[in-house]
């Protein structure tokens, strides 16, 4: 009796041991699985944007998915992407809340996602933004989990651009968002500026025209036992949006837009985007690979 119990116990320990080794192998395989990411340069000489309703989920088919609320939020002319913000249909719905004036009816503008996600890497965008108060032009990295890095310009505050980040959707107001003057003294709309986010596993650097204006260290964000530092594969997003909304948005963006007295559209321009995926964390796809695959 005792013997068979012993045998049973030894057998049990063996089985558990094998299961443990197996699960470890599975988890190490998991950590080896890299994110698929496309390194590319888009000069907008070809239209490589597909509208969300026409997108079959195959990232090889384009550089960008147009996730704007309506079609017609961009056009492409001689190597420039013209982002278009349209006046909302109907009345603008002007009201006052505790943050001041705002609109309840919001205009629709461009919202592009890269077709591939990037897990660490560098994104640069050459952009000429809009100077009308309430108009927001943005380059973001955004994960499905709510991790985010931003470069944003808001109208009226034409001598500055803003950087921000979120960890799992959480944001420390007044700490995470920072306003930067252009190192060369320019304005958001006077010329093209190059906005860069260099996102690494330990450090993120935001720069304008090649000059670093902000550095975020992963190590300085250790809180409640975890590093509150964006670390999930993220879409690259380019957007032009109406910041006239209530509850503080209009106040932040120097809005609301007074559509009764402004043109029916507001524009921003992007002439080049460069994406370089970090090869240590991504399986890097290039346009050449895609051409081969589609042949
Ligand atoms: C676009 O990006 C957002 C933010 O990361 C994500 O939630 C959404 O699923 C993406 N949509 C597509 C079609 O890629
Ligand atoms: C990031 O920091 C960790 C821990 O300090 C270190 O082991 C790793 O090599 C660093 N990675 C890079 C890319 O610097
Ligand atoms: C603004 O906040 C109020 C109260 O929290 C909420 O009821 C309302 O839906 C919000 N409005 C918008 C446009 O988000």
DSSP state of 233: -
Residue that the structure tokens 């240590």 belong to: 280
The answer to whether residue 26 scores a pLDDT higher than 60 is no
pLDDT score at 53: 98
Please tell me if the CB atom of residue 142 comes closer than 6 angstroms to any atom of ligand 1.
yes
pLDDT score at 295: 34
Length of the chain as a residue count: 295
Q: What are phi and psi of 220, to 5 degrees?
A: -85, 0
The answer to whether residue 105 scores a pLDDT higher than 60 is yes
pLDDT score at 171: 86
Please tell me if the CB atom of residue 238 comes closer than 6 angstroms to any atom of ligand 1.
no
Instruction: For ligand 1, pick from 54, 142, 234 the residue to mutate: most ligand atoms within 8 Å of CB.
Output: 142
Separation CA 202–CA 138 (nearest Å): 24
Ligand 2 centroid to 149 CA: how many Å?
20
Ligand 3 centroid to 139 CA: how many Å?
26
Decide: pTM greater than 0.85. Answer: yes
Cα distance between the two ends of the chain: 69
Q: What are phi and psi of 279, to 5 degrees?
A: -70, -15
Q: Which atom of ligand 1 is nearest to the CA of 113?
A: 1
Q: 86 with 74: CB under 8 angstroms?
A: no
Q: What is the pLDDT of residues 224-269, one digit of tens each?
A: 999 999 999 999 999 999 999 999 999 999 999 999 999 999 999 9
Separation CA 265–CA 263 (nearest Å): 5
Please tell me if the CB atom of residue 235 comes closer than 6 angstroms to any atom of ligand 1.
yes
Separation CA 269–CA 80 (nearest Å): 7
Q: Which of 126, 145, 148, 292 is catalytic?
A: 148
Please tell me if the CB atom of residue 201 comes closer than 6 angstroms to any atom of ligand 2.
yes
- Percentage of residues in the chain having pLDDT higher than 90: 82
Separation CA 125–CA 206 (nearest Å): 12
Q: Which of 96, 152, 156, 217 is catalytic?
A: 152
156 is a catalytic site residue: no
Ligand number nearest CA of 256 is 3
Nearest CA to ligand 3 atom 1: 247
Range 187-202 average pLDDT: 97
Please tell me if the CB atom of residue 202 comes closer than 6 angstroms to any atom of ligand 2.
yes
The answer to whether residue 15 scores a pLDDT higher than 80 is no
DSSP state of 192: -
Please tell me if the CB atom of residue 278 comes closer than 6 angstroms to any atom of ligand 1.
no
Ligand number nearest CA of 120 is 2
Q: What is the pLDDT of residues 82-93, one digit of tens each?
A: 999 999 999 999
Q: 50 with 66: CB under 8 angstroms?
A: yes
Tell me whether strands 222-223 and 49-51 are parallel, antiparallel or unpaired: unpaired
DSSP state of 131: -
Task: Report how far apart, in Å, the C-alpha atoms of 229 and of each of 121, 176, 203, 222 are.
Answer: 15, 11, 9, 8
Confidence of residue 204 (pLDDT cuts 50, 70, 90): very high
DSSP state of 11: H
The two tokens of residue 293 are 């695959």
Nearest CA to ligand 3 atom 3: 247
Tell me whether strands 49-51 and 64-66 are parallel, antiparallel or unpaired: parallel
């Amino acid at each position: 009796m005792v013997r068979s119990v012993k045998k049973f116990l030894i057998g049990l320990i063996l089985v558990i041991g094998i299961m443990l080794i197996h699960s470890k192998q599975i988890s190490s395989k998991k950590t080896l699985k890299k994110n698929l990411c496309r390194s590319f340069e888009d000069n907008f000489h070809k239209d490589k944007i597909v509208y969300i309703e026409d997108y079959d989920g195959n990232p090889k088919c384009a550089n960008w998915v147009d996730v704007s609320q309506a079609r017609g939020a961009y056009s492409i002319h001689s190597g420039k992407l013209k982002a278009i913000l349209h006046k909302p249909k109907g009345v603008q719905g002007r009201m006052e809340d505790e943050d001041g004036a705002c609109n309840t009816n919001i205009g629709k503008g461009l919202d592009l996602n890269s077709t591939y996600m990037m897990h660490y890497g560098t994104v640069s965008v050459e952009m000429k933004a809009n100077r009308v108060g309430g108009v927001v032009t943005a380059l973001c990295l955004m994960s499905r989990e709510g991790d985010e890095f931003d470069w944003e310009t808001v109208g009226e505050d034409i001598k500055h651009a803003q950087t921000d980040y979120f960890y799992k959707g959480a944001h420390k107001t007044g700490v995470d968002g920072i306003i930067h003057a252009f190192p060369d003294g320019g304005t958001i709309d006077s010329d093209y500026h190059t906005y860069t986010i260099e996102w690494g596993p330990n450090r993120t650097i935001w720069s304008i025209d090649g000059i670093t204006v902000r550095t975020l260290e992963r190590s300085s964000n250790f809180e409640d036992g975890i590093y509150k530092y964006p670390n999930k594969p993220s879409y690259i997003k380019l957007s032009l949006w109406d910041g006239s909304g209530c509850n503080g948005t209009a106040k932040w963006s120097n809005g609301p837009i007074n559509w009764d007295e402004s043109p029916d559209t507001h524009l921003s321009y992007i002439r080049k985007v460069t994406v370089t995926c970090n090869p240590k964390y991504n399986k890097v796809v290039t346009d050449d690979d895609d051409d081969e695959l589609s042949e």
